[in-house]
Chain A
């Protein structure tokens, strides 16, 4: 059972480049999330989706975009990368609308130089 799969695991970008972090889940979960994790900080929500075709901003959406064309996939797009986007990015999913556990991917470590 794959769960939540993120690619790539590591990436180095130059300032101004763009890239897409891929996230796919095979659990048929409606709810999907993108978080970033910085040292000494809690996980911060970037974007979330409650189902295919529906996305909304979280706490720190600036510089990012998402799409949700299928239940399985929730890619995160970084446009014009900046050093402030150096972080570890986690995708998560949940079957619940109410309080429930999140299933996380293993993370994507991005460095912007």
Chain B
């Protein structure tokens, strides 16, 4: 069964304290792995798409990486405005139109 697991569930960081969020997946053929940011009371907002192992994408303080079993979202020197829930999703070859979402990591960055 296709599955996505994110860890940790919640993370508190001091401003400037770098860390990584993990997304482990098991799918029957990966078509794409996606990272989204979700603010309270809002819909998820797209951050990155990764397609193959070894691929990396960066945006400001965020960097996403992908291996054959997991993806990491590295946050370098975070600021309070980076506080949000970060969602990981995969699209598998077996389900053309279907995305499988993880439960997310709630990140809180303290000033």
Hey, which bits of chain A sit against chain B, CB under 8 A? 4, 31, 33, 35, 40-45, 48, 50, 56, 58, 90, 92, 97-107
Contact = CB atoms under 8 A, between A and B. Distances in A.
Nearest to B103: A42
Given A41-B103, A42-B100, A107-B41, A99 B46 contact: no
B99 A102 contact: yes
B31 A98 contact: yes
Interface residues of B, number: 25
B91 interface: yes
Contacts of A90: 43-44
Of B34, B91, B100, B101, chain A has the most CB atoms within 10 Å of the CB of: B101
Contacts of A100: 32, 49
B98 to A, nearest CB: 6
Contacts of B100: 42
Contact of B43 (A41, A48, A99, A105): A105
Contacts of B66: none
Contacts of B78: none
Interface of B: 4, 31-32, 34, 36, 41-46, 49, 51, 87, 89, 91, 96-104
29 contacts: A31-B97, A33-B97, A41-B103, A42-B100, A42-B101, A42-B103, A43-B44, A43-B99, A45-B99, A48-B97, A58-B98, A90-B44, A92-B43, A98-B31, A98-B32, A99-B32, A100-B32, A100-B49, A101-B34, A101-B49, A102-B44, A102-B99, A103-B46, A104-B43, A104-B44, A105-B43, A106-B42, A106-B43, A107-B43
A109 B87 CA distance: 19
Contacts of B102: 42
Contacts of A99: 31-32, 34, 49, 51, 91
Contact of B98 (A4, A45, A92): A45
Contact of A97 (B36, B46, B96): B96
